[in-house]
C-alpha cells in the first residue's frame, strides 16, 4: 500500500504517557472532547499554530518572553531543528523546516507501524524530536543499528503538542496519566492556558511557586462524576548529557478525599491551615514557596518512598512546640490526618483505647501533666520507647485503681517495626492531644478569642479552586 492515506481517526490516544499528554493537548487546542474526535482539518490547524509558536520561540531574542518558550522546547527537544544552536534565524527558512516535521505520510516510502499507535508511518524519528527516547535513561531504548522510531503524523503532532498539555518549567516538563480521561483533559486544559501565558509574558506570568501537583490535584478534584482514580505524574528533562525521569503517584481514593475535604467545613479549615503553614515569603512579603502547591505535593508519593507524607507533615504541625493552635484549628488538623489515614491509606486501627491510656496517665500520673506530655512527646514515634511508656502508664493507672481499657491487640500495631506503624504512632499522638483538649488539660493552645484572621472568608470557597492566574 502506498499513497497519501486518509486515516479513519488521524489521532489516537495511546498508553504512552507523553503521547497521551500530547494527544490531549491536540484535543484541547482543536476544541474536541477527545483526541480520537480530531479530524485531519483539526490537525492541520494545530500544526499551523505549533509551527508559528515554534518559529517565534526559535527566532526570539534572549531575555524576551518568547525566549522562555524556547527554553521549554530546549528542555524537551535539545537537538531539534527548533533548538539547535546552529539553527537558521530566518523565520521563513525555519517555518519550512519545522512544518516538514508534520507532513503527511509520504507516498511510495516504506510503511512501518507507528511506535505509539500502530498506524502506518513513513517518518522515522529519534531522540532529537522524541523526548526520552533512545538514551540509556530512557523509557524506551532503540536497538543498535536501527535508524529511529516510526511515528505516524498524528503521533508526531502529539509529541510536539506535548509542551502545551504538560506542566512546564524552564528545565522540565510534567505530564499526568490517570485512570479517568477527564482528569487528563482538565490537566491539559489548564496547561494550555499556562502555555499561552508563558509565551506572552514569560515564566514571570505564572504565580510564584506554582507546581504541577496543584494543577493535578485540581483536575482530580473536579472529576464529575466523582470516582476513585489513581494518577501518576511523570516529570522529565530530555537533556543531552543527563536526561532524567521522576515518577510520583497518588492513591486511588484521592479524588474522593479531596471532594470530602472540600465539602466539609472542618476539613477545609484543616487544609487551609496546612496550605498556610507551607507558604514561604521573602523579606518583602513576596511568596517564594506556594502553600497550595506544596500541600498538593503531599498527595503524591515518590516511587522510591522518599517523599514527604501528608500524615508526617500534619504530625509535625500538631506537635511543633513553637506553634500555639486554637482548639478548633488543632481539631481540624487532626481530623484531616485521621480522614486521610482512613480513606486514602485504608488504616482501620482503633487508636482510641491506647490514646485513652496515655491521656489518663498524662492527666492523673505523678508530677505535672505538662511534664508527662513532654515525656510522651519525646517517645511518641519510637516503637520501643513508646512500648516502654505504655507499660509504665499501664502499671501506674492499675496501681492507682483506674480502669485500663486497652488490650494487647490495641498496643500491637503501635509498638512494632512494620510498614505504616510510623504513621499509626503519629495518628496516636494527634488522638492523645485531642483527648487532652476535650478534657481541658493544658497543651499550650491559644484561647479562641486571641486570633482574628481572614480564615473565615477564605473558607467560603473551595480550597482547591485557586485559579492559577497572575498572583
Ligand atoms: Zn501513531
> Ligand 1 mean position to 301 CA, how many Å?
31
In a domain, 400, yes or no: yes
**Are 125 and 193 within one domain?**
yes
SS3 378: helix
> Ligand 1 mean position to 228 CA, how many Å?
30
What Cα–Cα distance (Å) separates residue 172 from each residue in 54, 159, 197, 224, 244? Answer: 17, 15, 17, 30, 9
In a domain, 7, yes or no: no
Please say which residue of 183, 216, 249 terminates a domain.
Answer: 249
Could you give the count of Cα atoms lying within 13 Å of 416 in the half-sphere of its Cβ?
Answer: 10
**Are 184 and 307 within one domain?**
no
Please state, for a pLDDT cut of 70, what percent of the chain lies above it: 90
Grade residue 86 by pLDDT with cuts at 50, 70 and 90: confident
**Are 176 and 278 within one domain?**
no
Residues in Cβ contact with 118 at an 8 Å cutoff, skipping those fewer than 6 apart: none
**Are 244 and 312 within one domain?**
no
Rounded to 10 degrees, the C-alpha dihedral 421/425/428/432 comes to 160
Residues in Cβ contact with 224 at an 8 Å cutoff, skipping those fewer than 6 apart: 182
- Looking at residue 265, its pLDDT comes to 93
Grade residue 325 by pLDDT with cuts at 50, 70 and 90: confident
> Ligand 1 mean position to 152 CA, how many Å?
4
CA-wise closest residue to 21 among 173, 194, 221: 173
Find out whether 191 and 26 touch, Cβ atoms under 8 Å: no
Q: How many other β-carbons are positioned within 10 Å of the β-carbon of residue 456?
A: 9
With 90 as the cut, is the pLDDT of residue 139 above it? no
**Are 286 and 372 within one domain?**
yes
H helix intervals, 263-305 = 265-278, 291-297
Quote the number of domains for the chain: 2
Report the pLDDT averaged over residues 293-315.
Answer: 90
Report the pLDDT averaged over residues 311-323.
Answer: 89
Please say which residue of 208, 233, 249 terminates a domain.
Answer: 249
Residues in Cβ contact with 353 at an 8 Å cutoff, skipping those fewer than 6 apart: 405, 406, 407, 410
SS3 114: coil
Report the pLDDT averaged over residues 73-89.
Answer: 89
Walk across the sheet containing 172-178 and list its strands: 167-169, 172-178, 231-237, 244-250, 301-302
> Ligand 1 mean position to 163 CA, how many Å?
18
> Ligand 1 mean position to 49 CA, how many Å?
20
State the pTM of this model: 0.88
Please say which residue of 225, 249, 273 terminates a domain.
Answer: 249
**Are 227 and 276 within one domain?**
no
> Ligand 1 mean position to 155 CA, how many Å?
4
In a domain, 467, yes or no: no
Please state, for a pLDDT cut of 90, what percent of the chain lies above it: 63
d(CA 70, CA 87): 12
**Are 94 and 178 within one domain?**
yes
Burial class (CB in 10 A: 0-12, 13-18, 19+), 125: buried
> Ligand 1 mean position to 105 CA, how many Å?
11
In a domain, 172, yes or no: yes
Residues of 386-400 as b/e, b for ≥16 C-beta within 10 angstroms? bbebbeebbebbeee
SS3 288: strand
Tens of pLDDT along 264-283? Answer: 999 999 999 999 999 999 99
**Are 209 and 278 within one domain?**
no
Angle (nearest 5°) at CA 159 between 464 and 37: 75
**Are 243 and 266 within one domain?**
no
> Ligand 1 mean position to 316 CA, how many Å?
48
**Are 273 and 302 within one domain?**
yes
**Are 264 and 228 within one domain?**
no
Q: How many other β-carbons are positioned within 10 Å of the β-carbon of residue 47?
A: 21
Find out whether 101 and 129 touch, Cβ atoms under 8 Å: yes
In a domain, 5, yes or no: no
> Ligand 1 mean position to 12 CA, how many Å?
7
d(CA 340, CA 252): 12
In a domain, 465, yes or no: no
Round the average pLDDT of the chain to a whole number and report it: 88
In a domain, 9, yes or no: no
> Ligand 1 mean position to 330 CA, how many Å?
53
> Ligand 1 mean position to 120 CA, how many Å?
8
With 70 as the cut, is the pLDDT of residue 7 above it? no
In a domain, 3, yes or no: no
Report the pLDDT averaged over residues 344-351.
Answer: 89
**Are 155 and 120 within one domain?**
yes
Range of the domain at 245: 17-135+145-249
Residues in Cβ contact with 385 at an 8 Å cutoff, skipping those fewer than 6 apart: 378, 379
Amino acid at each position: 500500500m502506498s499513497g497519501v492515506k486518509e486515516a479513519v481517526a488521524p489521532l489516537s490516544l495511546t498508553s504512552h504517557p507523553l503521547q497521551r499528554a500530547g494527544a490531549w493537548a491536540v484535543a484541547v487546542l482543536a476544541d474536541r472532547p477527545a483526541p480520537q474526535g480530531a479530524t485531519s482539518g483539526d490537525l492541520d490547524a494545530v500544526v499551523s499554530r505549533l509551527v508559528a509558536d515554534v518559529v517565534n520561540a526559535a527566532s526570539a531574542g534572549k531575555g524576551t518572553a518568547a525566549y522562555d518558550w524556547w527554553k521549554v522546547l530546549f528542555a524537551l527537544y535539545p537537538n531539534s531543528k527548533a533548538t539547535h544552536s546552529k539553527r537558521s534565524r530566518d523565520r521563513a527558512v525555519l517555518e519550512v523546516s519545522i512544518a516538514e516535521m508534520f507532513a503527511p505520510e509520504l507516498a511510495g516510502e516504506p510503511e512501518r507501524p507507528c511506535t505509539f499507535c500502530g498506524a502506518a508511518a513513513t517518518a522515522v524519528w529519534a531522540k532529537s524530536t522524541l523526548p526520552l527516547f533512545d538514551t540509556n535513561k530512557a523509557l524506551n531504548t532503540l536497538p543498535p543499528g536501527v535508524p529511529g522510531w516510526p511515528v505516524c503524523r498524528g503521533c508526531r503532532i502529539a509529541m510536539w503538542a506535548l509542551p502545551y498539555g504538560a506542566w512546564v518549567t524552564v528545565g522540565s516538563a510534567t505530564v499526568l496519566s490517570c485512570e479517568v480521561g477527564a482528569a487528563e483533559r482538565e490537566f491539559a486544559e489548564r496547561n494550555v492556558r499556562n502555555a499561552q501565558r508563558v509565551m506572552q509574558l514569560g515564566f514571570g506570568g505564572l504565580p510564584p511557586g506554582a507546581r504541577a501537583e496543584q494543577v493535578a490535584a485540581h483536575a482530580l478534584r473536579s472529576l464529575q462524576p466523582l470516582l476513585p482514580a489513581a494518577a501518576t505524574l511523570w516529570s522529565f528533562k530530555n537533556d543531552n548529557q543527563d536526561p532524567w525521569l521522576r515518577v510520583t503517584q497518588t492513591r486511588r481514593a484521592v479524588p474522593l478525599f479531596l471532594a470530602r475535604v472540600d465539602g466539609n467545613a472542618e476539613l477545609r479549615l484543616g487544609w487551609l491551615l496546612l496550605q498556610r503553614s507551607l507558604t514561604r515569603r521573602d523579606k518583602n512579603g513576596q511568596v517564594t514557596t506556594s502553600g497550595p502547591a506544596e500541600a498538593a505535593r503531599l498527595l503524591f508519593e515518590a516511587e522510591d518512598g522518599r517523599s514527604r507524607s501528608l500524615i508526617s507533615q500534619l504530625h509535625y504541625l500538631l506537635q511543633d512546640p513553637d506553634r500555639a493552635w486554637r482548639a478548633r484549628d488543632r481539631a481540624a488538623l487532626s481530623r484531616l490526618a485521621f480522614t486521610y489515614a482512613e480513606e486514602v491509606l485504608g488504616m482501620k486501627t482503633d487508636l482510641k483505647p491506647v490514646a485513652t491510656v496515655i491521656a489518663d496517665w498524662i492527666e492523673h500520673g505523678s508530677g505535672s501533666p505538662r511534664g508527662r506530655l513532654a515525656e510522651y512527646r519525646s517517645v511518641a514515634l519510637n516503637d520501643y520507647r513508646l512500648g516502654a511508656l505504655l507499660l509504665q502508664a499501664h502499671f501506674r493507672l492499675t496501681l492507682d485503681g483506674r480502669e485500663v481499657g486497652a488490650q494487647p491487640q490495641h498496643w500491637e500495631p503501635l509498638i512494632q517495626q512494620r510498614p505504616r506503624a510510623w504513621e499509626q504512632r503519629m495518628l496516636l499522638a494527634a488522638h492523645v492531644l485531642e483527648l487532652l483538649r476535650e478534657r481541658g488539660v493544658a497543651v499550650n493552645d491559644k484561647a479562641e478569642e486571641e486570633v482574628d484572621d481572614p480564615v473565615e472568608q477564605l473558607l467560603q470557597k473551595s480550597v482547591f479552586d485557586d485559579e492559577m492566574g497572575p498572583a
